[in-house]
Amino acid sequence: MIRKTRIYADTSVFGGVADEEFKTIAFRFFEEVHAGRYALIISEITARELRDAPVVVRQFVSTLPEDAVEDLPFTPEMLELRNAYLSAKVVGQRWSDDAAHVAAATVARADLIVSWNFRHIVNWDKIRSFNSVNLRLGYPLMTILSPREVIANEEDL
């Protein structure tokens, strides 16, 4: 049995289904989730943020197959790692939820993080800084990509 790739999806990935710029790729990414290629990790932070999402996004989330979703509670270890990112000034306090997403994925040992947040998450300098803190504290490097970089090419399907 082949293990599914465990992908931590932040809130922006779901919001992509309602965004003209990202809609086509977002739906393609979720087609692959529905096809069983990926297991999505949805943290308590993502779930909380989705409660305030537009209705179309919340309705879309409810269509995800149960066996494709892993619910992830936010633990004290994740909080400690988030605080380490904030102390290292990877992101400012105002964007602590962005740091919390990376911390949750890291502690949960996700295979990768997928996000449309190019300012605070899918950003080369931020990725290096998150990973610097991870290595210093004994965590593995985290791969962070946009959904565009994750979806399979047609010839791969």
CATH number at residue 140: 3.40.50.1010
Q: pLDDT tens digits, residue range 12-47?
A: 999 999 999 999 999 999 999 999 899 999 999 999
Indicate the average pLDDT of the chain. Answer: 94
- In the block, which residue shows the tokens 């400690």? 80
User: For 157, which DSSP code?
Assistant: -
pLDDT at residue 157, as a whole number: 41
Q: What is the pTM of this model?
A: 0.93
Q: In terms of residue numbers, what domain contains 147?
A: 5-156
Give strand pairing partners of 114.
9, 145
State how many domains the chain has: 1
Are the C-beta atoms of residues 38 and 4 closer than 8 Å to each other? yes
Amino acid at 147: P
